[in-house]
């Protein structure tokens, strides 16, 4: 492997440099002793070699110190102790001096080397500590992204952004199956069980493979936690949807049994009344109109239930075609008038509103419900107002009544099925739910604005579509 070859070369060079330093130092010490030879007894001058040993111990460690000591003893013996230029020793006093020098050199070397190791250990510990601190910052950032919640996409984006920020843009995550191929980058896989991904360090940022591996594991775990969180919350949302559907179904069943039964009872009672033996013409007409009216009510309730069930099953399937909202409102007004009598309706719709793409029959149901609702809650004689226009890329039709208004606390729930005004007006309680369902299925929106004691306005809006080519 190339890395190992390099390492071996580096070590060789270090050994060579050390050897040269040892030789040089010993040579220097020898020179110094030679200069001072006349001034002091030679055994005392051995101390100069001690300095050489000390120097090498500090600079190069124990082995270099030992080598220096041995070389020093040999040099001292060879150059300065009688007989000179021989490695034999004639005086026993000199032997003692040499041995003492050797022992002292070894001990000093050992002490100096230990001190040096301690220092380098401390330095490494400090480096590690600062790396840990950096890792901790990065991981804390990532963890807080996950703890902040939100959808999975957002959490993963936050992790990536946090990582870049907390590493001064040295690191990035790449959530892809294949490792990214940026030249010079150090790349390690994230240890995530749910998502393939890679932790990359920008070229020249000084992050080693080990540094990255230390981070890759906890980062991978955090990504798994984010996935797990998403799974749990989507399950919770499903459970909540199921619960709400159940509540809605129960309400539906309850309402059906109650709302269907009362017109049925009225009809059977009236039919029974028609069989009475002495029946005036007036009574007979009365009974017949009860049957008519209550049958109508039943029929509308059944239509409403059908619409609500289509909306709840998201089976609205609008048949989109170009529709004129003014036309839709007009035909709705005609059918509402036919049912509820001639209540005043004020039209203030500009001519030539843009056509919208919608289902004409469903639009008619929407405006019939809104108008009927407005008429029910209007004081007798007060006109219901239909206005509209275009603005902000939308075409809007408003149906406004001068009724009592809807208190803010109840405004959110009026679009829920079976929410009725509390004034005892008769309606299925489904009208506004149907309006919202149909409007939204046709790509529009419905909003309500209400001022207590002044009235309520429902605004139906559709985006202005590109208009079709003009008629030929």
Partner 1 sequence: MSPSAQRVLVVDDEPQIVRGLKVILRDAGYEVEAAETKEEALNRVSARTPDAMVLDLVLPDGSGVEVCKQVRGWSSLPIVVLSAVGDEREKVRALDAGADDYVTKPFGPEELLARLRAVLRRRGEEDGDAQVVVGELEIDLAGRTVRRDGLEIHLTPIEFDLLRVLANHRGKLVTHRQLLHEVWGPGYESETHYLRVHFAHMRAKLEPEPSQPRYLITEPGVGYRLREQS
Residue 360 or 445 with smaller CB distance to partner 1: 360
Kindly give, in sequence order, each residue whose CB lies less than 8 Å from that of residue 366, ignoring residues fewer than 6 positions away: 328, 332, 434, 435, 438, 439, 460
> Nearest approach, Cβ of 263 to partner 1 (angstroms)?
12
Number of residues that bind partner 1 (CB under 8 A): 37
Tell me if 463 contacts partner 1 by CB under 8 A: no
User: Which span sits near partner 1 by CB under 8 A: 2-10, 190-198, 348-356, 442-450?
Assistant: 348-356
CB 139 within 8 A of CB 199: no
Residue 78 or 322 with smaller CB distance to partner 1: 322
Cα Rg of the chain, angstroms: 48
Which residues are registered as beta bridge partners of 323?
356
> Nearest approach, Cβ of 331 to partner 1 (angstroms)?
5
Count Cβ atoms below 10 Å from residue 335 Cβ, excluding itself.
15
Task: Please give the residues from 360 up to 379 whose contact with partner 1 meets the rule CB under 8 A.
Answer: 360-361, 363-364
Q: Any long-range contacts for 94-97 (C-beta under 8 Å, 24+ apart)? A: 94/42, 94/43, 97/43, 97/46
Task: Please give the residues from 280 up to 299 whose contact with partner 1 meets the rule CB under 8 A.
Answer: 295-296, 299
Maximum distance among all Cα pairs of the chain, rounded to whole angstroms = 163
- Which residue of 122, 321, 340, 447 would you call a contact of partner 1, by CB under 8 A? 321
Question: Which whole-number Å values give the CA distances from 278 to 274, 286, 290, 291, 394, in the listed order?
Answer: 9, 14, 18, 19, 63
- Which residue of 141, 294, 359, 401 would you call a contact of partner 1, by CB under 8 A? 359
> Nearest approach, Cβ of 313 to partner 1 (angstroms)?
12
Three-class SS of residue 42? helix
Residue 33 or 353 with smaller CB distance to partner 1: 353
CB 397 within 8 A of CB 388: yes
User: Which span sits near partner 1 by CB under 8 A: 88-96, 238-246, 319-327, 375-383?
Assistant: 319-327
- Does 165 sit behind a cis peptide bond, omega within 30 degrees of 0 on the bond before it? no
E strand segments, 253-364: 321-323, 345-348, 356-358
CB 420 within 8 A of CB 413: no
Tell me if 407 contacts partner 1 by CB under 8 A: no
- Which residue of 351, 380, 391, 407 would you call a contact of partner 1, by CB under 8 A? 351
- Residues 242-281, one symbol each (x = binds partner 1 by CB under 8 A, - = not), give ----------------------------------------
Note the residues at the interface with partner 1 (CB under 8 A): 295-296, 299, 303, 306-307, 310, 319, 321-324, 326-331, 333-334, 345, 347, 349, 351-352, 355, 359-361, 363-364, 386, 467-468, 470-472
């Amino acid at each position: 492997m190339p890395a190992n070859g390099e390492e071996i070369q580096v070590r060789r060079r270090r050994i060579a440099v050390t050897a040269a330093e040892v030789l040089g130092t010993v040579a220097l010490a020898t020179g110094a002793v030679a200069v001072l030879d006349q001034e002091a007894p030679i055994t005392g001058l051995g101390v100069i070699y001690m300095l050489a040993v000390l120097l090498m111990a500090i600079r190069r460690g124990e082995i270099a110190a030992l080598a220096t000591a041995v070389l020093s003893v040999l040099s001292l013996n060879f150059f300065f102790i009688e007989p000179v230029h021989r490695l034999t020793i004639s005086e026993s006093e000199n032997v003692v001096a040499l041995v003492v020098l050797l022992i002292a050199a070894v001990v000093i070397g050992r002490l100096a080397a230990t001190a040096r190791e301690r220092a380098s250990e401390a330095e490494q510990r400090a480096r590690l500590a600062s790396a840990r601190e950096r890792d901790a910052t990065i991981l804390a950032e990532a963890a807080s992204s996950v703890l902040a919640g939100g959808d999975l996409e957002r959490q993963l984006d936050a992790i990536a952004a946090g990582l870049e920020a907390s590493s001064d843009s040295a690191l990035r995550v790449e959530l892809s199956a294949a490792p990214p191929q940026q030249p010079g980058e150090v790349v390690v896989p994230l240890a995530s069980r749910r998502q393939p991904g890679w932790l990359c360090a920008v070229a020249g940022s000084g992050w080693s493979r080990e540094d990255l591996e230390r981070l890759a594991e906890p980062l991978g775990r955090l990504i798994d936690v984010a996935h797990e969180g998403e799974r749990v919350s989507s399950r919770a949302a499903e459970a909540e949807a199921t619960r709400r559907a159940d509540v809605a179904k129960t309400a539906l069943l309850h309402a059906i049994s109650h709302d269907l039964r009362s017109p049925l009872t009225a009809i059977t009672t009236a039919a029974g009344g028609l069989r009475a033996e002495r029946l005036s013409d007036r009574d007979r007409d009365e009974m017949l109109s009860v049957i008519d009216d209550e049958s109508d009510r039943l029929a509308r309730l059944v239509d409403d239930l059908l619409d609500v069930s289509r909306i709840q099953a998201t089976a609205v399937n609008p048949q989109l075609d170009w529709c004129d909202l003014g036309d839709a409102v007009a035909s709705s007004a005609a059918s509402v008038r036919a049912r509820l009598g001639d209540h005043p309706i004020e039209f203030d719709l500009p001519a030539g509103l843009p056509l919208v793409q919608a289902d004409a029959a469903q639009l008619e149901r929407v405006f019939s419900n809104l108008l009927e609702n407005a008429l029910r809650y209007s004081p007798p004689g007060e006109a219901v107002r239909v206005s509209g226009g275009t603005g902000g890329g939308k075409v809007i039709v408003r149906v406004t009544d001068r009724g009592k208004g809807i208190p803010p606390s109840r405004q959110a729930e009026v679009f829920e099925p079976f929410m009725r005004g509390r004034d005892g007006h008769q309606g299925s309680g489904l009208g506004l739910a149907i309006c919202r369902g149909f409007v939204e299925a046709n790509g529009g929106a419905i909003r309500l604005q209400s001022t207590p004691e002044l009235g309520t306005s429902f605004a139906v809006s559709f985006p202005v579509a590109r208009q079709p080519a003009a008629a030929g």
